[in-house]
Amino acid sequence: MTPSTDDRGALFFEPSRACGLDRLAAFQPAMGVKYAAERNSDYGPHERDNVSCLSPWVRTRLLTEKELAEAALCQFRYDHAEKFHQEVCWRTYFKGWLEHHPSVWTRYQETLLEDLSALEQNSGLQTAYDHAVSGNTGIEGFDDWAVELRETGYLHNHARMWFASIWLFILKLPWTLGADFFLRHLLDGDAASNTLSWRWVGGLHTPGKTYLARTSNIEKYTNGRFAPTHLADQAEPIVGFSNPSAQAFRKGDDIAAEDAGLLLTEDDLGVHSLPYGGAGIKGVAGAVFPDARSPLGCAANPKSFAEGALSDALDRASEIYQCPHQKLSSDGFTTQAIDWARGLNVSQILTGMPPIGWVRPQLDRLQTGLAEHDIRLVYVQRDWDRLFWPHASKGFFKLKKVIPDVYEELGLL
């Protein structure tokens, strides 16, 4: 089974764990040699059997990274599906790297506001931006990807790289505006992966190393669908803020073996596997904050996916813990969450540890508010993050080397 399609045959992702599990099972036989050989090819929105398409479910942890690794190891020896394991860990690497360098997210948000303001003051820039995001630049491939992203909420990873390169080195548009366009439309939109991937293409994440989209490469890996001409033949690193020094990152909190409430957000809807340390779950609540992704809000596709994924997780949590559940609004979230927590008559609320991004500020404010009522908001960190993030302070190679060792600690090997 592949993800279902809409009436045009375009990819459609159902925001449920059941659909994610179906897709995981369907792709499992392709996680070995086939994935390594074909993963870079973008055959178009109607033909995605060469890539997993699991990222929207993993983003919300309706599926976990560990479950993907387990599926691959059930089908193949580690070294026979090594490329798949490495790609799963790229997202983990970016999240861990941003934990070590949180000011990169803050600086991105600040620079984005400046660049959005510049759009209002520069009609030429505004026109160029409008043409880019609407798919009216006249650049073959690029325009198609802009439309595909807006209509489906998904782009093949290679297309994301080509798109970003053309945006930066041909159209000469600010990288923050491109990153924001992606973040507002991607079902799997993620603060770390999105921000750092754009900085990587532009030569900021790995200083001086840029990614250049080439006609021959695009033609080869789109199976001849696109062959844009007059692309840049060189790409000097873009101007932008440099990487700060790595710092110690926040770790998960201790869970008391006593009654608790469970709070779900789009950062972790994995109620089937979130470790709760023996606490008795008396109630479940959840909220998502898609419009906090950007000053411009969030597009309909990712907003609908986040809302649907939350509903799915709340229903399953209620069944697992045999307790009532409540959906909280993003407007007035703190007040609603405090009222819910106080009504449970518990001393702790558990929530999946939010990585650096737009959800953590919401929970940090709630943590302060709950403390005034002698209730702890406990950030529950998964072993996957706890074991991988310490290896993500520099380049990916450092983390890649320890994947088998971490797998052993996780009981996978």
The CATH number of whichever domain residue 302 belongs to comes to 3.40.50.620
In a domain, 280, yes or no: yes
Last residue of a domain, one of 171, 200, 221: 221
Q: Are residues 269 and 375 both part of a single domain?
A: yes
Give the separation between CA 31 and CA 309, rounded to whole angstroms: 25
Contacts of 328 (CB under 8 A, 6+ apart): 285, 286, 287, 336, 337, 340
- pLDDT for res 131: 98
- pLDDT for res 178: 98
- pLDDT for res 1: 34
In a domain, 78, yes or no: yes
Strand order in the sheet with 281-286: 325-327, 281-286, 260-264, 348-352, 376-380
In a domain, 253, yes or no: no
Give the separation between CA 60 and CA 382, rounded to whole angstroms: 14
Q: Helices 142-152 and 157-169: crossing angle, nearest 10°?
A: 120
For the entire predicted model, the pTM comes to: 0.95
Give the separation between CA 223 and CA 25, rounded to whole angstroms: 27
Q: Are residues 71 and 135 both part of a single domain?
A: no
Per the CB < 8 A criterion, the answer to whether 330 and 361 are in contact is no
In a domain, 7, yes or no: no
Q: Are residues 363 and 286 both part of a single domain?
A: yes
Q: Are residues 120 and 194 both part of a single domain?
A: yes
Give the separation between CA 179 and CA 133, rounded to whole angstroms: 11
Which DSSP category does 29 fall into?
G
- pLDDT for res 278: 82
In a domain, 235, yes or no: no
- Digit-coded pLDDT (tens) for 243-284: 999 999 999 999 999 999 999 999 999 999 999 888 899 999
In a domain, 209, yes or no: yes
- SS3 category, 302: helix
What average pLDDT score do residues 115-139 get? 97
- Digit-coded pLDDT (tens) for 96-107: 999 999 999 999
- pLDDT for res 413: 96
Give the separation between CA 250 and CA 253, rounded to whole angstroms: 9
What average pLDDT score do residues 209-219 get? 96
User: What is the number of helices (H) and of strands (E) in the chain?
Assistant: 18, 5
Residue 10 reports pLDDT greater than 50: no
Q: Are residues 201 and 293 both part of a single domain?
A: no
Q: Is 157 buried (19+), middle (13-18) or exposed (0-12) by CB count in 10 A?
A: middle
Torsion of CA 356, 359, 361, 363, to 10 degrees: -120
Percent of the chain scored above 90 by pLDDT? 95
In a domain, 254, yes or no: no
Q: Are residues 71 and 124 both part of a single domain?
A: no
- pLDDT for res 300: 96
H or E stretch at 260: strand 260-264
Residue 9 reports pLDDT greater than 90: no
- Digit-coded pLDDT (tens) for 52-77: 999 999 999 999 999 999 999 999 99
Q: Are residues 70 and 173 both part of a single domain?
A: no
Domain count, the chain: 3
Last residue of a domain, one of 221, 244, 274: 221
CATH number at residue 109: 1.10.579.10
- Digit-coded pLDDT (tens) for 299-347: 999 999 999 999 999 999 999 999 999 999 999 999 999 999 999 999 9
Q: Are residues 351 and 277 both part of a single domain?
A: yes
Q: Are residues 269 and 374 both part of a single domain?
A: yes
- pLDDT for res 282: 95
Structural domain including 316 reads 260-381
Residue 8 reports pLDDT greater than 90: no
H or E stretch at 84: helix 82-100
- Digit-coded pLDDT (tens) for 395-411: 999 999 999 999 999 99
Q: Are residues 327 and 276 both part of a single domain?
A: yes
Q: What is the mean pLDDT of the chain?
A: 95
User: What is the Cα gyration radius of the chain?
Assistant: 21
Per the CB < 8 A criterion, the answer to whether 395 and 206 are in contact is yes
Q: pLDDT confidence of 25, banded at 50, 70, 90?
A: very high
147-150's contacts with Cβ under 8 Å and 24+ in sequence apart are 148/10, 148/45, 149/181, 149/182, 149/185, 149/186, 150/185, 150/299
- Digit-coded pLDDT (tens) for 139-192: 999 999 999 999 999 999 999 999 999 999 999 999 999 999 999 999 999 999
- pLDDT for res 12: 65
Give the separation between CA 29 and CA 71, rounded to whole angstroms: 9
Q: Are residues 285 and 176 both part of a single domain?
A: no
Give the separation between CA 258 and CA 279, rounded to whole angstroms: 5
Q: Are residues 304 and 374 both part of a single domain?
A: yes
In a domain, 23, yes or no: yes
